[in-house]
A = this chain, B = another copy of it.
Amino acid sequence: MRESELIADICKHNAELAACGGAEVLLAPGDDMALVKLAGLRVLVAADQVIAGRHFAAGTPMDQIARKALARNISDIAAMAGVPACAVATVALPAAMPDHEVRALAEGLRAAALVFQCPVVGGDIGTHAAADGALVVSVSVLAEPGPTGRVVTRAGACVGDLLCVTGTLGDGWRSDGSGRHLSFTPRIAEALALVEALGDRLHAMIDISDGLARDAGHLATASGLAVRIDGAQLPCAAGAGWQAAVGTGEDYELAFACAGQPPSSVAGTPVTVVGRFQEPGGARVSVCIGTEEHDVSALGWEHG
């Protein structure tokens, strides 16, 4: 079963959440983060993990693994235009992991917390029964809405809205495990600047973790629309073609829907118009290359 199917299955039960008691759930599973209300205060919350052999290759330095585990979550905060508040982490260690590597992992989380201004305030350290059990680092983050109070979701794109992206695409993850996914800077500042600059013209947003085709598809689906990408406009990273730019995961740039032209850059990062939202029907996500239109609705990165 693919993650997306299971998530769809879980989201079917969102109506139950209200019956659960506990916090009021303002935004349930299905977006980059959930939004809950605690004693009148809106809090964003999300969890994400990295698994050895899936999200990082054997031999990746511990500080880079720790950084990525936190950065993935910070990128989800950016997608909602939130501001990081704090994080908690659990780590499941291979039984044979030497002490100096465990310490390096803890140091790496601490260093990343400083960089991303998101203190790691608690968690749990466990050990696999197996000497070679796969290292799993799971991080949960809390965030607050930014200064305007606006939380931007995946839903809300309108027909005619422009699909825009920050930065460059296609070099997040390489098949050997290298790539920007180990060193990217989540686009918190860019997201807050977009809210500030575009105001109500910013209709929907997501971070590109599964590839632009899939993530623009998430925007389209949540908004009940289709989206057409202009292949010639894609800000391809050096060495990346259009397929890599829309199909590679882990770019951790922002994709957003906006009414009218966006600024050409925000917080020092270029912004590129790469497509347009349109009425549903035909391909949910397509890429136009010259006169050809490629259906890429099924393309993209499933982490598994």
Contact = CB atoms under 8 A, between A and B. Distances in A.
Interface residues of A, number: 72
Contacts of A9: 103, 106
Interface stretch (A12-20, A229-237, A265-273, A281-289): A12-20
A51 B141 CA distance: 21
A20 B118 contact: yes
Nearest to A86: B23
A133 interface: yes
Contacts of A140: 45, 47, 88, 90, 140
B121 A25 contact: yes
A103 B113 CA distance: 34
Chain A contact residues, majority secondary structure:
mixed
Interface in A138-183: 138, 140, 142, 144
A54 B124 contact: no
Given A38-B85, A140-B88, A16 B110 contact: yes
A84 interface: yes
A199 interface: no
Interface of A: 1, 3, 6-7, 9-10, 13, 16-17, 19-23, 25, 28-29, 33-34, 36, 38-41, 43, 45-49, 51-55, 84-86, 88-90, 92, 95, 99, 102-103, 106, 110, 113-114, 117-119, 121-130, 133-134, 136, 138, 140, 142, 144, 303-304
